[in-house]
Amino acid sequence: MVDVKTLFLHENATLKEAIEIINTGPSQIALVVDEEEILIGTITDGDIRRGLHKEYDLHSSVRNVMKREFCSLPENATQNKVVQLMIEKDFRQMPLVDSRGHVTRIHLMNDLLKPDELKNSVVIMAGGEGHRLRPLTDNCPKPMLRIGDKPMLEIILEQCIEAGFRNFNISVNYLKNQIIDYFKDGSSWGVDIQYLEEVFYMGTAGSLSLLNEIPEHPFIVLNGDILTHVNYSKLLRSHISNNALATICTRKHETVIPFGVIRNDGGIALEIEEKPVFCHNISAGIYVLDPVILQYIVPNKKLEMPQLLQKSIIEKHSVQVFPVHEYWLDIGHPEIFDQVVNDWGEKYK
């Protein structure tokens, strides 16, 4: 049972503090309380993402995003009542409160119900050579580098299985037999795995033309060198609710200019800003695609995902963004790989 006090924060807290609570443990919620620890609001990662869409930053107050009209149940509510309301409202958490409004317990949908097996499939791009990680990748494809005792690709696969996915396609090229021989048909994990075998590097989207059949439902595409705590089933629900052709996971990236930047008009200096920080949304290498988008992919031709998405935007399709505030690392350099081993290695020994 979750210790609810670990989920508490006050309304003068920042979004960064809320994220730390949301990302710690299975609850994925922060409970905003007053000085007497009476519940006055809730914050989930969806609230955080909507705040980031509105250009709030991590130092903004939780007052800007918290739900003041939250849903809760009395502490004596039966489990059946809790499950019924959570399904009806599509809630993943439900706080129980006493007569004064103090939280005495919180129910989590993941504890009450096992995740449904999803009909949607997952495509994992695992064909790259990993040039920047050499010599680690001289004789090992990057997704098969071990974090503790497990290949990185196995960690990604198990995260997807935990979210309810059972059908997988893995795009392979460089040293592909190491991947195919390890995972085979997926039966050891209780799933179905098929392989998109490239004869040349087809880019981060081109290998989708190798799918044996067009999926019937929206599908997730993951780069095989990304480790994250993103909830893939929640990402899928967001995509479907927005009726999008594509959804791009995005990550805030800050660039610091290590000099004073001068804004001038001709020869007159108007403003000097010392070491300014510019913030941009970058692609996190995680996507949800509607099968209709496959019409823009030419068979046997290299195509990168940004090209495919840009084509969709030009054609006036809905391309949504899903901000990622959870743990996320793109394992492209040896120092990042070392960080991942430190962060994840003990868990998988």
Q: Is the same domain home to 154 and 94?
A: no
**pLDDT tier at 347 (50, 70, 90 boundaries)?**
low
What's the CA angle centered on 46, arms 43 and 49, to 5 degrees? 105
Task: State which residues form the domain around 45.
Answer: 4-112
Q: Is the same domain home to 8 and 108?
A: yes
CATH number for the domain that contains residue 40 = 3.10.580.10
Q: Is the same domain home to 141 and 80?
A: no
Q: Is the same domain home to 14 and 84?
A: yes
**pLDDT tier at 111 (50, 70, 90 boundaries)?**
low
Q: Of the candidates 64, 84, 112, which is a domain's last residue? A: 112
pLDDT of 1 above 70 = no
Q: Is the same domain home to 22 and 156?
A: no
Q: Is the same domain home to 36 and 69?
A: yes
Contact 162, 116 (CB under 8 A): no
Mean confidence (pLDDT) of the chain: 87
Q: Is the same domain home to 192 and 73?
A: no
What's the pLDDT score for residue 338? 83
- pLDDT tens figures, 244-301: 999 999 988 878 888 888 888 888 888 888 888 887 888 899 999 999 999 999 998 9
* Matching residue, tokens 């991942």: 340
Q: Is the same domain home to 106 and 38?
A: yes
Q: Is the same domain home to 248 and 333?
A: yes
What's the pLDDT score for residue 175? 92
Q: Is the same domain home to 19 and 98?
A: yes
**pLDDT tier at 348 (50, 70, 90 boundaries)?**
low
pLDDT of 78 above 80 = no
DSSP state of 333: S
CATH number for the domain that contains residue 170 = 3.90.550.10
Q: Of the candidates 67, 93, 112, which is a domain's last residue? A: 112
Q: Kindly state the helix (H) or strand (E) to which residue 140 belongs, with its residue range.
A: none
Q: Of the candidates 57, 86, 112, which is a domain's last residue? A: 112
Q: Is the same domain home to 100 and 130?
A: no
What's the pLDDT score for residue 319? 93
Q: Domain tally for the chain?
A: 2
Q: Which of 189, 192, 118, 195 is nearest to 150 (CA)?
A: 189
SS3 248: strand
Q: Is the same domain home to 11 and 146?
A: no
pTM of the complete model beyond 0.95: no
- pLDDT tens figures, 139-184: 889 999 888 888 999 999 988 998 889 999 999 999 999 999 999 9
DSSP state of 145: -
- pLDDT tens figures, 43-73: 988 888 888 887 788 888 888 888 888 888 8
Compute the distance between CA of residue 33 and CA of residue 46 in angstroms, rounded to an integer. 19
What's the pLDDT score for residue 168? 96
DSSP state of 24: S
